[in-house]
C-alpha cells in the first residue's frame, strides 16, 4: 500500500530523482511522504504529512544530496498520520535509515524487548522496530545485521535500507509485499512498482519472498535468509515511460478511460487465429484437462470481483460450465470445498492484492489448478499461478480501475469462447459471429466518447446529489455494481448497485425526486422488457431516470429523463460498452465536486494487507 523507491549510484540531483519517482507511486498511498539520503557519511531525512507536493513545499526534497537514497509515500497502517510516523525511520544513533511497506505482526513484543535493551523510539510504527533491530544486530556489516533482524520479524515487508557507515550499499528485502530491483548502468534501483523507475530502466529483477538483495552502483547480489546466494533472472519489460505519464489529460483516470479502445485491441491481438480463439500457447493445460473442468471458481476483490460476476455469466451461458464467484477476502475463512476438477480463476489488476493471493493459495493447497487474469507481469499472483492470461491494459495508475476492468472482461470472453470451442458448446458459425462482434468493440468504444459532452452536462446537473442507485440485469448487473463503485470511490456520493428486479424488494423505498437511478438497459432478448417495467416503477415514484441504452432505441427516450446511447452489439459484449459512460459520469461528477480523482481519500491502488 505504501510506495518505496531507492537508488544507488545516482547521477542526477538525488533529491529531485527520488521526488520524481515517489510521485509515480503516489497512487499507492498519500498520507505522508519522506526521502532519506546519505551525504558525507551522515543520514539525512526530510519527511512530513500530506500529499507529496505539499510535503515537498514544506521540506524541499531537492536540497537532499548524495548518490544513495530512499523515498517513501505512505498509506498508514500502523500508527497515526503524523510526521513522526512518516517514513523513513532510523535507529537510535541515526546511522541506519529505512522505508517499509507491509505490517510487522510481532512488532509489540520486539519493541518491548528493544526498549528493555535501552533503545529509544520516536514513532508509533512497526517499521521503526526494524531499524532498531538492525542496529541491535549491527557488527560492521549491514547485510548481516539485516538478515539477523529479518529472521526475528513476522509479517509482511518490502524494505529499503541504507546506512551511514556503509554508504555504498542499498539493502532491499521482501516478504509478501511487492518489491522489484531495476538494473541500470552504473546505478541500480529498487521500487514497489515498475512505473517509479521506468524512465531509468526496463530491466527488472523480481525479488521473491524472504529474499534480501545488496545493491551497489555496479552490482546486485540476492541472498536467501540463510545467506545463500540466489541467481536471479533479469526480465525486460514492455511498458514504456510515456505509458505511465498523464500525456495532457487532467487525470490518470481520464487518460485511462480513453485508452480503453487501444487496451482492448492489444488484449485481443494475437489471440484470434483463423476465426477461432487461440489460447493454446498461454494455457499450458492439455485440451483434455480443459475439457474436463467440472466447475470454475473465481476469486477477486472490488472491480475485479465485478468482472468475475460478468465472467460467471459468460462461462455459464456460452461454455456451459458451472461457475461460482467469491469475494477473495471471504474465501479462505469459510472453509471452501475445492476439488482437483475445479479451475480456480484469480482476477487482479495489480497481481498483489493480499486477499486474492490468500484465496489463490488456499485453492492451490486443495489441489485446484490456478489460472489468473492479471495486468502486471512478475507480480505475486502472476508468479504463483499455474497459468496466466494477461490483460494488456498497460500501467493503470488512477486508483479507480477502468481499463483494467474492460480488458478483464475481454479476457474472460476470450477464455469463454476458447473453452466453448474445446467443449463444443457452440457451433462454428456462432463462434465466428461472436468473434466478429468482439472485434468490433474497440471501434465502438471510440464512438462512446462522442457522448462525452452530454455526459459532462449530466454530471453538471446531478453532481450535488447525495445518493444514487445503479440497476441492471443479467450481465449488466455487475456493470451496475461497477458504475456505483466508481461513483462512490471518487466522488464520495453514496451509491448502490442492484439487480434491477431486486429494487422492488426494498431499495424502492428510497426512490423520490432526489434520487437519480441509473439503469444499464441495452436492448436484449432476455430482460429488456422487464427492465422497462422497473424503469416505470421508478418514474411512478418520482425518481430521476438516466439510462444507458442501445443506439436506435427511441422508445426508451419517451419514458426516462436522460438517455446515453451506446452502439449495438451482442448482449454480453454490450456490457463492455455500457460501463464506459458510467466511468465518465463518475469522473465528471467527481471533477465538478472538486475531488482529488486520482488520489481518492482512504484508498490505495494496491491493497497488500488482508
Q: Round to the nearest angstrom and report the end-to-end CA distance of the chain.
A: 11
Q: Which of 53, 157, 147 is nearest to 105 (CA)?
A: 157
71: helix, coil or strand?
A: strand
* Residue 170 neighbours by CB distance under 10 Å: 29
d(CA 244, CA 379): 17
Residues 6+ apart with CB under 8 A from 365: none
Between residues 147 and 304, which has the closer beta carbon with respect to ligand M6R? 304
595 is catalytic: no
Are the C-beta atoms of residues 272 and 278 closer than 8 Å to each other?
A: yes
The sign of the CA dihedral 311, 317, 323, 326 is positive
The sign of the CA dihedral 173, 174, 177, 179 is positive
**What letters, b where the CB count within 10 A reaches 16 and e where it falls short, cover 35-59?**
bbbbbeeebbbbbbbbbbeebbeeb
10 is catalytic: no
Query: What minimum distance in Å lies between the beta carbon of 18 and ligand M6R?
Result: 25
Between residues 187 and 259, which has the closer beta carbon with respect to ligand M6R? 259
Between residues 410 and 560, which has the closer beta carbon with respect to ligand M6R? 410
Are the C-beta atoms of residues 419 and 371 closer than 8 Å to each other?
A: no
Are the C-beta atoms of residues 188 and 181 closer than 8 Å to each other?
A: yes
Chain-centroid distance, C-alpha 115:
38
d(CA 9, CA 17): 12
Residues in the chain: 610
Residues 6+ apart with CB under 8 A from 182: 188, 189, 190, 191, 197, 200, 201, 203, 204
Query: What minimum distance in Å lies between the beta carbon of 380 and ligand M6R?
Result: 11
Q: How is residue 593 written as a grid cell?
A: 465536486
Supply the DSSP string of 445-500, one letter for each residue: HHHHGGGHHHHHHHHHHHTT-SEEEEEE-TTHHHHHHHHHHHHHHHH--EEEEEEG
d(CA 372, CA 390): 8
Alpha-helix residue ranges (DSSP H) falling in 202-244: none
Between residues 90 and 349, which has the closer beta carbon with respect to ligand M6R? 349
Between residues 67 and 350, which has the closer beta carbon with respect to ligand M6R? 350
- The residues binding ligand M6R (CB under 6 A) are 301-304, 348-350, 353, 356, 399-401, 489, 603, 607
Instruction: Single out the catalytic residue among 2, 78, 301, 595.
Output: 2
Residues 6+ apart with CB under 8 A from 555: none
d(CA 366, CA 464): 49
**What letters, b where the CB count within 10 A reaches 16 and e where it falls short, cover 144-155?**
ebbbbbbebbeb
The H or E element containing residue 69 is strand 68-74
The alpha carbons of the chain give a radius of gyration, in whole angstroms, of 25
* Residue 181 neighbours by CB distance under 10 Å: 27
The catalytic residue positions are 2, 605
Amino acid at each position: 500500500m505504501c510506495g518505496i523507491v531507492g537508488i544507488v549510484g545516482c547521477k542526477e540531483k538525488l533529491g529531485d530523482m527520488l521526488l520524481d519517482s515517489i510521485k509515480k507511486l503516489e497512487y499507492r498511498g498519500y498520507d505522508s511522504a519522506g526521502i532519506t539520503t546519505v551525504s558525507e557519511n551522515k543520514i539525512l531525512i526530510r519527511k512530513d504529512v500530506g500529499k507529496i507536493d505539499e510535503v515537498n513545499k514544506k521540506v524541499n526534497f531537492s536540497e537532499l544530496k548524495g548518490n544513495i537514497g530512499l523515498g517513501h509515500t505512505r498509506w498508514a497502517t500502523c500508527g497515526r498520520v503524523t510526521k513522526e510516523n512518516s517514513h523513513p525511520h532510523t535507529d537510535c544513533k541515526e546511522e541506519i535509515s529505512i522505508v517499509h511497506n507491509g505490517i510487522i505482526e510481532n512488532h509489540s513484543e520486539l519493541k518491548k524487548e528493544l526498549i528493555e535493551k535501552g533503545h529509544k523510539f520516536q514513532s508509533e510504527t512497526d517499521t521503526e522496530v526494524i531499524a532498531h533491530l538492525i542496529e541491535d544486530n549491527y557488527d560492521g556489516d549491514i547485510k548481516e545485521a539485516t538478515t539477523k533482524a529479518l529472521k526475528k520479524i513476522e509479517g509482511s515487508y518490502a524494505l529499503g535500507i541504507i546506512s551511514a557507515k556503509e554508504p555504498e550499499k542499498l539493502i532491499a528485502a521482501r516478504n509478501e509485499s511487492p518489491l522489484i530491483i531495476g538494473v541500470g548502468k552504473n546505478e541500480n534501483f529498487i521500487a514497489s512498482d515498475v512505473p517509479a523507475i521506468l524512465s531509468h530502466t526496463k530491466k527488472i529483477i523480481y525479488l521473491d519472498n524472504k529474499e534480501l538483495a545488496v545493491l551497489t552502483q555496479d552490482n546486485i547480489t540476492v541472498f536467501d535468509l540463510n545467506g545463500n546466494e540466489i541467481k536471479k533472472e533479469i526480465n525486460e519489460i514492455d511498458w514504456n515511460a510515456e505509458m505511465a505519464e498523464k500525456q495532457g489529460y487532467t487525470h490518470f483516470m481520464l487518460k485511462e478511460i480513453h485508452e480503453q479502445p487501444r487496451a482492448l485491441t492489444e488484449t485481443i491481438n494475437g489471440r484470434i487465429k483463423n476465426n477461432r480463439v487461440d489460447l493454446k500457447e498461454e494455457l499450458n493445460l492439455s485440451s483434455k484437462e480443459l475439457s474436463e473442468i467440472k466447475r470454475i471458481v473465481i476469486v477477486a476483490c472490488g472491480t475485479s470481483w465485478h468482472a468475475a460476476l460478468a465472467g460467471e455469466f459468460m462461462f455459464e451461458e456460452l461454455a456451459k460450465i458451472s461457475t461460482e464467484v467469491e469475494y477473495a477476502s471471504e474465501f479462505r475463512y469459510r472453509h471452501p470445498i475445492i476439488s482437483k476438477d475445479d479451475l480456480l480463476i484469480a482476477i487482479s489488476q495489480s497481481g498483489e492484492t493480499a486477499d486474492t493471493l490468500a484465496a489463490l493459495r488456499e485453492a492451490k493447497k486443495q489441489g485446484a489448478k490456478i489460472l489468473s487474469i492479471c495486468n502486471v507481469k512478475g507480480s505475486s499472483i502472476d508468479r504463483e499461478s499455474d497459468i496466466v492470461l494477461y490483460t494488456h491494459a498497460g500501467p493503470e495508475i488512477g486508483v479507480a480501475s477502468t481499463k483494467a476492468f474492460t480488458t478483464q472482461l475481454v479476457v474472460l470472453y476470450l477464455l469463454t469462447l476458447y473453452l466453448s470451442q474445446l467443449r463444443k458448446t457452440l457451433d462454428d458459425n456462432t463462434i465466428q459471429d461472436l468473434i466478429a462482434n468482439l472485434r468490433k468493440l474497440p471501434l465502438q468504444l471510440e464512438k462512446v466518447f462522442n457522448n462525452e459532452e452530454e455526459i459532462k452536462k449530466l454530471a453538471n446537473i446531478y453532481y450535488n446529489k447525495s445518493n444514487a442507485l445503479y440497476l441492471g440485469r443479467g450481465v449488466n448487473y455487475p456493470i451496475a455494481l461497477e458504475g456505483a463503485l466508481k461513483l462512490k470511490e471518487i466522488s464520495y456520493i453514496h451509491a448502490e448497485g442492484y439487480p434491477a428486479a431486486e429494487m422492488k424488494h426494498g431499495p424502492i423505498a428510497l426512490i423520490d425526486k432526489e434520487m437519480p437511478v441509473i439503469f444499464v438497459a441495452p436492448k436484449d432478448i432476455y430482460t429488456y422488457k422487464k427492465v422497462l417495467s422497473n424503469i416505470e416503477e421508478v418514474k411512478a415514484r418520482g425518481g430521476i431516470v438516466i439510462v444507458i441504452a442501445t443506439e436506435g432505441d427511441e422508445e426508451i427516450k419517451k419514458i426516462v429523463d436522460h438517455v446515453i446511447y451506446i452502439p449495438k452489439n451482442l448482449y454480453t459484449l454490450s456490457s463492455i460498452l455500457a460501463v464506459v459512460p458510467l466511468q465518465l459520469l463518475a469522473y465528471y461528477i467527481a471533477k465538478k465536486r472538486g475531488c482529488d480523482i486520482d488520489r481518492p481519500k482512504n484508498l490505495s491502488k494496491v491493497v497488500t494487507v488482508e
